[in-house]
Amino acid sequence: MLKYKKILLKLSGEALMGNQQYGIDSHRLDSYANEIKLAYDKGVKIAIVIGGGNIYRGLSGAAQGMDRVQGDYMGMLATVINSMAIQGAIEKTGVSTKLLGGLEINPIAEKMSRKRANDYMDEGKIVIISGGTGNPFFTTDTASALRAIEIEADVILKGTRVDGVYNKDPEKFEDAIKFEEISFKDAYDKKLAIMDLTAFTLCEENNLPICVFDMNKKGELSRVISGEKVGSLVR
């Protein structure tokens, strides 16, 4: 039995670096593709949004004097590169995909629309949504919240390198306490950096839960969609 039948999987661009300083680690890419296929084989409908921080960050560029709008569009193009990479890796597992985008880039990415995304998922394809919202000043966190609401996903699954939400950084503090479940209000009051505020507000207003889990742990994604006690649930 599946707890979630339609998911929006949010991955960070930095996760694709593996142990590298930048770029895409092919082993990490293939590992993620295999995990996604395991979940797909259970019958869940999957849409994916991936960041571009392993290639370029608009805010970092702006901090160095680059025009913010130009920098944000560069960041959107970085998400297209990562989306193409994960698309290729998933296709190698034998699963059909479709790449959509906040930015229409022929012949690479069709323009994102709710109907188009849902139609492709109904056909049995994994949909990858690149290019953020297509607008500057919005993060891929916000894009993932927006796309999840558009396609009426049951949940946003935020795959990270830690196994949930903690009261402080568990990679720096051994006494960090994990939250198995937490409300949006409590997470906001505790200033937990789960997603940016715009994305967080979108999820709260639309009753869209967020599950944070360790994407690097084998089989974890499949356990989440099956309803096992994995990661941290924000709702």
Query: Tens of pLDDT along 126-182?
Result: 999 999 999 999 999 999 999 999 999 999 999 988 899 999 888 889 899 999 999
**Domain-located, residue 21:** yes
**Domain-located, residue 151:** yes
**Structural domain count of the chain:** 1
In this prediction, residue 100 carries a pLDDT of 98
**Domain-located, residue 80:** yes
Residue range 11-29: mean pLDDT, rounded = 90
Q: What is the pLDDT of residues 88-121, one digit of tens each?
A: 999 999 999 999 999 999 999 999 999 999 999 9
> Which range has the top average pLDDT, 16-25, 47-56, 121-130, 225-234?
121-130
d(CA 215, CA 171): 16
In this prediction, residue 161 carries a pLDDT of 86
In this prediction, residue 219 carries a pLDDT of 95
Nearest to 126 by CA among 96, 148, 150: 96
The CATH code of the domain that includes 141 is 3.40.1160.10
**Domain-located, residue 186:** yes
Which residues are CB-contacts of 228 (< 8 A; sequence separation ≥ 6)? none
Residue 64 has pLDDT above 80, yes or no: no
Asked if residues 152 and 6 have their Cβ atoms less than 8 Å apart, the reply is yes
AA identity, residue 72: D
d(CA 17, CA 31): 12
Residue 61 has pLDDT above 70, yes or no: no
Asked if residues 131 and 76 have their Cβ atoms less than 8 Å apart, the reply is yes
**Domain-located, residue 1:** no
**Domain-located, residue 12:** yes
Residue 222 has pLDDT above 90, yes or no: yes
Residue 220 has pLDDT above 90, yes or no: yes
Domain containing 214 equals 6-234
Residue range 4-31: mean pLDDT, rounded = 92
Residue 65 has pLDDT above 80, yes or no: no
Q: Indicate the pLDDT class of residue 62, thresholds 50, 70 and 90.
A: low
